[in-house]
């Protein structure tokens, strides 16, 4: 069952569903009065409700139970990745990152990444669809950076990057108890020596295994491993 997105989700009472949420829930999913539905506001709230009435362009849902950040990671979790050349792979990365609990997504222009722009509106739609499908309460923010310096390094005490040839296994570098963590993956052509020299000032290089992973696979490997480690 897919959730409906609403901009504000009160603790109790009735919520009016209009616009895209109405089209999604009533026209596409064909919810009918008396059925239970899920609502999410992307700001940390998820509610189970009862569909009460359906009008020509609106519906009303009575909130039964509202949950605070259910299934969310216990600490902020940022993914930093290159703008991948193939749109389908980029969208796959965003979709799976939302499903696995990333709270922020940062895409950086890297020296060996051929793509220099980002389809931000399209990726926002992909993230929103994953939020609703996954019954998640937090919609990760998407950011585009033209330089490494603009990344929010200081907000994440623990910072890891996948580095070819690194001797430290990922499992030994994961923080516990949970703390704000940033995970960084490189482009198809890997980091340049200059980028690596800069990034080593901020990040701890870790090994993701002997097999070389695509950027989107490395990001998902990071997230899935951390999800299992933190147990959220």
How far does CA 75 lie from the centroid of its chain? 13
The Cα–Cα gap between 95 and 111 comes to: 25
The CATH number for 85's domain is: 3.40.1280.10
From 35, 68, 101, the end of a domain falls on: 68
Regarding whether 217 and 156 lie in a shared domain, the answer is: yes
The Cα–Cα gap between 166 and 154 comes to: 24
Q: What is the DSSP letter of 134?
A: T
Regarding whether 189 and 220 lie in a shared domain, the answer is: yes
Please, where are the H alpha helices in the chain?
19-22, 87-99, 120-133, 170-173, 193-199, 215-230
The CATH number for 51's domain is: 2.40.240.20
Total domains, the chain: 2
Q: Is the pTM of this model over 0.85?
A: yes
Regarding whether 155 and 62 lie in a shared domain, the answer is: no
Render each residue's pLDDT in the chain as its tens digit; 232 residues: 899 999 999 999 999 999 999 999 999 999 999 999 999 999 999 999 999 999 999 999 999 999 999 999 999 999 999 999 999 999 999 999 999 999 999 999 999 998 888 899 999 999 999 999 999 999 999 999 999 999 999 999 999 999 999 999 999 999 999 999 999 999 988 999 999 999 999 999 999 999 999 999 999 999 999 999 999 9
């Amino acid at each position: 069952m897919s959730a409906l997105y609403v901009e504000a989700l009160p603790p109790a009472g009735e919520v009016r569903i209009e616009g895209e949420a109405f089209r999604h829930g009533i026209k596409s999913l064909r919810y009918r009065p008396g059925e239970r539905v899920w609502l999410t506001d992307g700001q940390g709230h998820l509610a189970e409700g009862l569909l009460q009435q359906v009008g020509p362009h609106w519906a009303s849902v009575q909130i039964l139970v509202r949950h605070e950040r259910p299934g969310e990671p216990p600490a902020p979790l940022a993914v930093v990745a290159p703008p991948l050349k193939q749109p389908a792979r980029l969208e796959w990365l965003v979709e799976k990152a939302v499903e696995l609990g990333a709270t922020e997504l940062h895409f950086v222009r890297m020296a060996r990444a051929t793509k220099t722009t980002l389809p931000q509106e399209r990726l926002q739609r992909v993230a929103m669809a994953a939020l609703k499908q996954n019954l998640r309460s937090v919609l990760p923010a998407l950011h585009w950076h033209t330089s490494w310096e603009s990344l929010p390094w200081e907000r994440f005490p623990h910072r890891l990057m996948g580095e070819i040839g690194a001797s430290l296994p990922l499992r030994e570098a994961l923080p516990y108890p949970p703390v704000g963590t940033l995970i960084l993956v490189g482009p198809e052509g890997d980091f340049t020596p200059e980028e690596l020299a800069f990034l080593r000032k901020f990040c701890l290089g870790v090994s993701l295994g002997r097999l070389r992973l695509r950027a989107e696979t490395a990001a998902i490997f990071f997230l899935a491993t951390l999800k299992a480690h933190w147990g959220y």
